[in-house]
Amino acid sequence: MTFHPTPPQLFDEFEDGRITRAQLHAGLNWHARGLVEEIIEAHENPVAAWWDGMLAKRAADRWASRHGIWRVRHILFALSKIPEFEPANLLWNALHPDVPLHCFFRMRREPVFRLLEIENRKGILRVRVAHGSKEEGITKETFILEHLGNTLEAHRAPLPNKT
Question: Please, what are the averages of pLDDT over each run of 10 residues along the chain (163 residues)?
Answer: 84 95 96 94 95 97 96 94 90 95 94 94 88 91 85 73 51
Kindly give the residue spans of alpha helices, DSSP state H, lying in 45-106. 46-67, 69-80, 88-91
What pLDDT, on the 0 to 100 scale, is given for residue 148?
A: 76
What range does the domain containing 61 cover?
45-162
pTM of the model: 0.87
Residue 129 in domain? yes
Residue 2 in domain? no
What pLDDT, on the 0 to 100 scale, is given for residue 157?
A: 78
Phi, psi (deg, nearest 5) at residue 100: -60, 145
Residue 24 in domain? no
Residue 39 in domain? no
E-state strands within the chain: 112-121, 124-133, 137-148, 151-156, 161-162
Residue 53 in domain? yes
Residue 102 in domain? yes
Q: Please state, in angstroms and rounded to a whole number, the distance separating the CA atoms of residues 8 and 14.
A: 10
Q: Please state, in angstroms and rounded to a whole number, the distance separating the CA atoms of residues 140 and 7.
A: 25
Residue 7 in domain? no
Beta strands 151-156 and 137-148: pairing type? antiparallel
112: Cβ–Cβ under 8 A, 6 or more apart, which residues? 106, 130, 131, 132, 133, 138
Cα–Cα–Cα angle for 10, 11, 12, rounded to 5 degrees: 90
What pLDDT, on the 0 to 100 scale, is given for residue 162?
A: 52
Q: In total, how many domains does the chain have?
A: 1
Give the 3-state secondary structure of residue 115.
Answer: strand
Residue 20 in domain? no
